[in-house]
Amino acid sequence: MAPELAGSQIVIELVYLIASVLFIFSLKWMSSPTTARHGIWAGEIGMLLAICGTLLHRGIVDYRLIAIGLVLGTIIGIPLGRVAMTAVPQRTALSHAFGALCVTLVGSAEYYLRTPSELPPFMMAVLSLEVILGGLTVTGSLMAAGKLQEILPQRPLTYKGQNLVNFALLACALAIAVSLVRNPGAHSLFPFMILIALAFGVLLIIPIGGADMPTVISLLNGYAGLSAAAMGFVLNSKLLIIAGALDGSSGLILSIIMSKAMNRSFTNVLFGAFGQVQTSHAAGEEAKPVRSATPEEAAAILSAANRVIVVPGYGMAVAQAQHKVRELYDGLSKRGVDVRFAIHPVAGRMPGHMNVLLAEADIPYDRLIEMDEINGDFPQTDVALVIGANDVTNPAARSDTTSPIYGMPILDVDKAHTVMVIKRSMNPGFAGIDNPLYYLDNTLMLFGDAKAFVGSIVRELGGGHG
């Protein structure tokens, strides 16, 4: 066992224990919107305690640099906490990169501080895992953030043998890790392991398109958590192990939910084989007839309805239409129309993205219904209004075995009496998959910008009523 602990050490460990308990409560209280804000307080108190406890550490001789670091971090953190809700996915990706950067830097510093005798095989293996996972999460998350912010091209970039190259790189990194485990003194090898991990992170995200982002962000979240847990092993810090395990399991659970919602196997996601370009069969399509409608007609149909379900997608966020949608919700509710929102798990660019955007627009959260709960209600629904969603409403996923999205669970909007789809044009969406929904007899296409179109419907509703 460890030698007798000094007094201050015991205090620090006890403080860490309290912080760990608070972290677990913090996540437990996230189970419902009514208690969720307690969760933040628990987390904040736990964090504050842990940092104060750490400052008691006997080995610390230089407080000045710590203070400067904490202040600079706060200065950077505040604007990151104030970004617009539409930018939350890229902010989240960026913070995964920051978290992983911290872990990678601490791991590297620990490696160079320790003598080979302080790095027994298991320790060296965990340390390698820490910096490999950390390194690939840093660049992977930066790539994801860049794509989401549209600094980088959103289109998936693929080339022949891509998976082979990626696996070869990963194998190289692991081979270096193995030789470091055997000979921890080989200092010159260490930077190469990190460089390869960084390169791997970039290549991993290159083939990923926007629609796969919810899975990728969750997965990177899980990697960041696991690397932090590995850091806990290296530093022998139980608090870090617990926090890392919590974050890691959260990321993995979300990845599983997201991959199920896209009908991808979890192993498929784990090995980064997502985002294969779907063969677009756009060529040779004859213009099939579609029915379209004007805002006036749409308003008339909506106000005559009893039950309306709105299906929002990423297009709504792009058009910044959520506040207009809320006005539509208010206008229809005032006329006694029952309006609810159907939320597909992968709608948007990260898990739960749509809920946050609609909540920001002041739509009560008890009107936001999950896919499984609301799907049975579409046949009794007068109007399903699709705003900026495409693949998640594509009935081909149910019936057409040749469709690239066959088997993906979808919102059964086509079963509603009338379907209205707000869309810019008939161009197939991002994934390049044609949507038979648009050609159904009960479908009306509302061509235009989501924000402008919903705005004109709202005006029509208001005008008709004085």
* 219-248 positions binding other proteins, by CB under 8 A: 221, 224-225, 228-229, 231-233, 235-248
From 304, 362, 462, 463, residue interacting with other proteins (rule: CB under 8 A): 362
Nearest to 429 by CA among 282, 251, 330, 216: 282
Residues 327-356 that bind other proteins (CB under 8 A): 330, 333-334, 343, 345, 350-353, 355-356
Residues 366-395 that bind other proteins (CB under 8 A): 366-368, 370
Give the separation between CA 208 and CA 321, rounded to whole angstroms: 26
Q: Of the two residues 288 and 334, which places its CB atom closer to other proteins in the complex?
A: 334
From 4, 74, 188, 441, residue interacting with other proteins (rule: CB under 8 A): 74
Residue with tokens 């920051």: 98
With binding defined as CB under 8 A, does residue 6 bind other proteins? no
With binding defined as CB under 8 A, does residue 187 bind other proteins? no
From 13, 17, 18, 102, residue interacting with other proteins (rule: CB under 8 A): 102
Q: How far is the CB of 316 from other proteins (least distance, A)?
A: 15
Q: Of the two residues 408 and 421, which places its CB atom closer to other proteins in the complex?
A: 408
Beta bridge partners of 312: 387
Residues 19-48 that bind other proteins (CB under 8 A): 19, 23-24, 26-28, 30-33, 36-37, 39-40, 43-44, 46-47
With binding defined as CB under 8 A, does residue 364 bind other proteins? yes
Q: Of the two residues 245 and 452, which places its CB atom closer to other proteins in the complex?
A: 245
Q: Of the two residues 103 and 169, which places its CB atom closer to other proteins in the complex?
A: 103
Size of the site for other proteins (CB under 8 A): 120
Q: Of the two residues 190 and 438, which places its CB atom closer to other proteins in the complex?
A: 190
Q: Which one-letter amino acid corresponds to residue 76? A: I
Stretch that binds other proteins, among 116-124, 379-387, 406-414, 421-429 (CB under 8 A): 116-124
Q: How far is the CB of 100 from other proteins (least distance, A)?
A: 9
From 10, 70, 165, 195, residue interacting with other proteins (rule: CB under 8 A): 70
Q: Of the two residues 73 and 185, which places its CB atom closer to other proteins in the complex?
A: 73
With binding defined as CB under 8 A, does residue 98 bind other proteins? yes
Q: How far is the CB of 101 from other proteins (least distance, A)?
A: 5
Q: How far is the CB of 398 from other proteins (least distance, A)?
A: 22
Residue with tokens 């083939």: 207
From 14, 122, 178, 306, residue interacting with other proteins (rule: CB under 8 A): 122
With binding defined as CB under 8 A, does residue 175 bind other proteins? no
CB 437 within 8 A of CB 421: yes
CB 96 within 8 A of CB 217: yes
From 173, 177, 213, 217, residue interacting with other proteins (rule: CB under 8 A): 217
Beta bridge partners of 343: 370
391, 412, 414, 434: the active-site residue: 391
From 6, 10, 76, 304, residue interacting with other proteins (rule: CB under 8 A): 76
- What does the chain come to in residues? 466
With binding defined as CB under 8 A, does residue 309 bind other proteins? no
In the residue annotation, 391 being an active-site residue is answered as: yes
> Would you name the residues annotated as active-site residues?
391
